Structure 1
Amino acid sequence: MSVTHPLLKILKVNILELYTEERDILDYNLNLAPFCRRLEDIFTLGLKTGNNWFVKPGYWSWISKLPRLKNPTFDQTVYFVKDCQKTLTVEGKGRLLIRAALVKKNLDVVVKLLKDDRLLCETWYDESSIIGNEILSEILVSLLVQLKTITFDLNLKNASYLDTTWDIPVYKQYEFVPCESLGIHFQEIDGHMIVLSVDKGSVAAEDGKVKPGDVLDEMFGESLKGVKKGKVQEVFQTYKGIPVYAAFIKACECNGNVFRPLKHILRELGIDPLNNNERRCEEIDEINIDDKAPHAILEDEETETTPVHGPDGSASYKVTYIGQCTLGVDGRVERIEDGVIQVLESKDRINEPVTIAMSETGIVVTSEKDKKEILNHSYTEVSACGRRTDYIQHFSYIAGETSCNLSKDFVCHVFHAPTRDMTKVILCAIAQGFQRTHWFL
C-alpha cells in the first residue's frame, strides 16, 4: 500500500502549475501565494506547542535553531531572515524564510537538516505531521528538490505585510531629487506609514509616483516599519542634500483592486485609491481633530469635543510660562505629575506672560514683553504633554534636546492658562500636532 498525504498531493499540483509556466516566477504570479500557503500548511501540520501553551507555535522557531555550518548558503538565508526588521512575528519570519529559500534554491535543506536531527524533530513535531514522518518527509524533500529547476525572482524587501498575510503588494522604489521636503503627509497606523495626502507640485507628486493610501516602507535602505516617533524625519535629515531613495507599498494591486490589508484602514481614513481622490491638506488637518491625548482628558470631559486649530492649521494662546525642570533620560508622560509640582515649588519660577503657538511642525513660545522666542520644539522632540487633576489650569509638555528616541536630556516646561477650558484646548492642540505632523516630509 502506498504512503501519501493529501497536502503532498496538492503541493505536487502546485509545483506542476509553476513548472509549466516556463518563465520566472515573480511576486505577482497567481500561483505563487497558493503554493506558499500549501508549504506553510505542511510546515505547520503536527507542530507541537512545546512548554508554552499560550504562544502559537511557528515553524520559524525550530528553523532558527537548526545546526549551523552544515550548509553555509542556507545559514546565510537564516541570518537574512533574523536580521530583517520588517517581519516581527514567527509567522512573518517563517514566510520570509520560505520566500528567501525559494530564491536561493535551498528550501529542501530545511527538511534535510531537521531529518538529520531526530531529537530536534521529535521535539517539534508529533505523529500527525508530514515532516516528522520518515517516509512522508522523504517525499516532501523530493518535491522540494524539484523547485531548484524553477527560478523565483521575488523582491525580498517586500516583506512588511508578511506578519499578517501571504498576499504580496505592489512594491515601488523611487529616487527623488535632493529637496527640503517631499511634500508627503502621513500617519502611523499599526506600525505602517500611511500616506494621507501629497502636496500638489511637490517632488513626491511628480508623475503620480506617490498617492494617498500608499505606504512609506523604506528610506535610504532603512526599514520604517514600527519605528519610533521622529525616526522618519531623522533619517531624512541625516541624508539631506543627496537624492532621496524611498520605497513604497502601493495601495492598489496589479489587478487594480485595493491591497486587502489596507482596505479597512483606508476606508476609515476616507481614502479611495480606486477613485484617486487626493484629499486637500485642509481636510487632512481635520483628521482626529476632536481626539485628545489620553493624559489630557479629565473624567468629566470624556464626552466633550474640542476644536482647537484655526483654518490655517495653527493655534496660539496667551498664557504664563511658569518655568522648567530637568528630568534626565526619563521623558515619560508619568513625569508630568512630579514635573509640575517641582516647578511650582521652585524658587526660580519665571512667571512670564507668553504666547504659545502650535504650528504645522512644532511648538513655539514667544515672550509678550519683547516678542523674543523663548522656546522652540518640533513635535519630534516632544515626548509628552498633560496636566495634573489638582492643578487643572496648569499644563506642561516634556521635550528633549533631539528626537525623542535619541534624547538623553528631557525638560518639563510648565505653563498657566487663564481658564480651565483654555488649558484643555491647548493640550488638545499639542496632541493633534503629534497626530498630524510627527509624520510629515
Structure 2
Amino acid sequence: VCVLNLQSDGASVTDTNPHLSSCCELLELVLRKGLQPVLSLVNRDYWHCFEQLPHHDTCTLAVEQTRGCKKLLSAQGRGRYLLRLALSRGALPQFIKHLLHTPRVLEWYCPNSSILRNEEFVPFMSLLLVLSQMEFQMDMENCSFLDESWLLPVCDVYEVVPCREVGVVLYLSGRVFVLELMPGSQAYADKFVLPGDIIDEINGTSLRNSKCGQAGVVLSRLKGCPLYIRILRWRAHDGTMYRPIVKHLRALRTENPTLQLTPLPSPQSGPQDLKPSTSQCLKEGIVYIVQYLGKANIGMFGGKEVLHQAITLVLQKNLPSKEALLDLKETHELLEHHYPEISCVGRYSQPDYTIFAFCVDCPETPQSSGFSCVGFHASNLRECEAIVCRITGFKHTEWFV
C-alpha cells in the first residue's frame, strides 16, 4: 500500500510527500524484526548490520558518508540516514542482497521471526526493486531530527549579506534556538528567521549538539562575511507545529517566558477555509498554537445544546488569555481528563467563529459540581475547524501553557 501511495502522484518523491515517512517506518520495522540482542544485554540496530558488511563499493561509500555526518548522534539516526541515502541512490536492493550474502551478519537475525531469513523476503525484495525504479529527491542535509523521528522539519537555507551583527538572540537547549530578533538588526529587517526556529548550521558548520557559546564563536569568526544559514522551522509543512520540537519548546518556554511564537496569518475567507486540514502522521500528533481563554462551571448538564451559552460564560469572565500549545494525538488524554469524560466539543457560532471549547464532567472548583467548559481561541477559521473535527473524530488531545 505504501509503495502504491508513493507511486500515485507519478512524480519524484520528495520530503514533502505525506507517504514517505510511513514507507520508511515500515522498512525500518522489517529490518528490525528478529534482530537479536548481543548476549541478551545490548540491543543491536540494523545500522550495526550495515556497518559490519564487508567491502562493497555501493555500500561502503554510503556507510562512510553516514559515519561522517556530524548531525547524527545515535545508531537509530544513522540507520535512518542510510535508508534515505539508499533510496535516493536506488541502491536499497543491493544493500539487502549484500546483507543476505554475509552469513556472519545474517546470523544476528532470528531464523524463526526474521523476514530476511524466511521465504517471506522474496516479495519484500520485489517491492524493494520497485522502489529502486522510483526517483527520490530528498534533502540529505536535513537530518538533524532523524535521531528522534522520521518526520522531518521544513528546512530553508538563507544567504545573509555581510554585516557587523546578524541580530539574533540564541538559546541552547539541545539545539540552537532563536529566542528573539534585535530591533533594527539585519535579522529583524529581513525576517529570514523567527523565534522558535533552529539554526542548524552556518556556512557548513553543524551546530547539532553544540556546546554553550559555539554558535556565537562561529558567527564572530565569520563577521563581515556572507553567511549561509540552514534553518529548521518550528512550523511543519501543513502549517501546524513540527511535532518533535514540542518538548524542546516546553523547556525553552519554561526558562524563557518571553518567547513568542508568530501566529498563523488569517487566510482569506472562502469554501476551502472550512475544510479541515489532514495529516498522515497521526501517531506523532499535531500541535496548534491557540489562546487559552479560561474555564467556567456550567451546571449539571454538559450536552452540545448548552455549548454556546457555556462559551459565553467563559468569555464573560474576561480573563487575560494565555498562549497555549494544543497537542492532538491518538494516545493521550486532554489535560488531566480522559477523553470519555468530554461531553461535547464545538465552535462558537457567533460573533467570533474562531473560538472553540469543550465541556467536561469536572467542576471548576472542589466546592462546585457538574460540568465545566474550557474555551480557546484559534488563529483562524480553518484551524478552528480542523481542531474541532479531530477531537470529535476520537483523536485524543493534551494541551499546555
| Partner in structure 2 of residue 160 of structure 1 | 144
Larger radius of gyration: 1
Q: How does 1:61-140 map to 2 (within 5 A)?
A: 61-68=48-55, 70=56, 72-133=57-118, 135-140=119-124
Tell me the residue number matched to 1:241.
224
Cα distance 1:207–1:276, how it changes in 2: closer, same or farther (>3 A)?
farther
Which amino acid letter does the alignment assign opposite residue 100 of structure 1?
L
Contact 1:183 1:203 in 2 (8 A): yes
Is residue 57 of structure 1 aligned with residue 40 of structure 2? no
Q: Counterpart of 1:30?
A: 18
* 1:274 positional shift: 4.9
* Unpaired segments ≥5 residues, structure 1: 1-12, 278-441
Who is 2:133 aligned against?
149
1:375-386 equivalences under 5 Å are none
Quick check: 2:35–2:108 contact (8 Å CA) kept in 1? no
CA drift at 1:272: 4.9
Structure 1 206/51 Cα, relative in aligned 2: closer, same or farther at 3 Å? farther
Number of the residue aligned with 1:195: 178
Shift of the 126–204 alpha-carbon distance from structure 1 to 2, 3 Å rule, reads farther
User: Match for 2:30: what amino acid?
Assistant: I
Classify the secondary structure of the residue corresponding to 1:204: helix
Q: CA deviation at 1:150?
A: 1.2
SS in 1 for 2:48: helix
Aligned ranges 1:388-427 → 2 under 5 Å: none
d(CA) in 2 for partners of 1:200 and 1:52? 57
Alpha carbons 1:48, 1:126 under 8 Å: kept: no
* Secondary structure, aligned partner of 2:185: coil
Aligned equivalents of 2:9 and 2:175: distance in 1? 35
Q: CA 1:236 to 1:52, structure 2 compared with 1: closer, same or farther past 3 Å? A: farther
Instruction: Provide Cα deviations, 1:168-196, integer angstroms capped at 9, x if missing partner.
Output: 1000111001122211111111x211111
Gaps of 5+ in 2: 266-401
* SS at 1:123 equivalent: coil
Is 1:46 aligned to residue 34 of structure 2?
yes
Match status 1:259 vs 2:211: no
User: Does residue 178 in structure 1 map to residue 162 in structure 2?
Assistant: yes
Looking at structure 1, the residues matched to 82 and 233 of structure 2 have their Cα atoms a distance apart, in angstroms, of 23
Q: 1:215 aligns with which of 171, 178, 198?
A: 198
Q: For residue 146 of structure 1, report the CA deviation from its aligned partner.
A: 0.9
Alpha-carbon distance between aligned partners in 2 of 1:59 and 1:115, rounded to the nearest angstrom? 13
Residue identity matched to 2:141:
K
Contact 1:47 / 1:124 at 8 angstroms: preserved in 2?
Answer: yes
* Residue type of the alignment partner of 2:11: R
Contact 1:252 1:273 in 2 (8 A): no
Q: Aligned pair in 2 of structure 1 residues 132, 217: CA closer, same or farther (>3 Å)?
A: same
Deviation at 1:242, TM superposition (A): 1.6
Q: Deviations over 1:293-320 (max 9, x none)?
A: xxxxxxxxxxxxxxxxxxxxxxxxxxxx
Q: Distance in 2 between matches of 1:265 and 1:86?
A: 17
Give me the CA root mean square deviation: 1.8
Secondary structure at the aligned position of 1:153 is classed as: coil
Partner Cα separation in structure 2 for residue 119 and residue 264 of structure 1: 40
SS at match of 1:200: coil
Q: Structure 1 residues 171, 224: closer, same or farther in 2, change over 3 A?
A: same
Distance 1:115 1:220 in 2: 41
Give runs of aligned pairs for residues 198-347 of structure 1, distance below 5 A. 198-268=181-251, 269=253, 270=257, 271-275=259-263
Give me the TM-score of the superposition, normalised by structure 1.
Answer: 0.56
Q: CA offset at residue 203 of structure 1?
A: 1.6
Instruction: Report the CA distance between 1:276 and its aligned residue.
Output: 7.0
Q: Could you report, residue by residue, the CA deviation over 1:193-251 in whole angstroms, capped at 9, with x for unpaired residues?
A: 11111112322233321000000100110110112233222222333322011111001
Name 1:9's counterpart in structure 2: none
In the TM superposition, what is the alpha-carbon distance from 1:148 to its structure 2 partner?
1.9
**How many residues were matched structurally?**
260
User: What secondary structure, in the 3-state scheme, does the structure 1 residue paired with 2:200 have?
Assistant: strand
The answer to whether the 8 A contact 1:50-1:124 is kept is: no
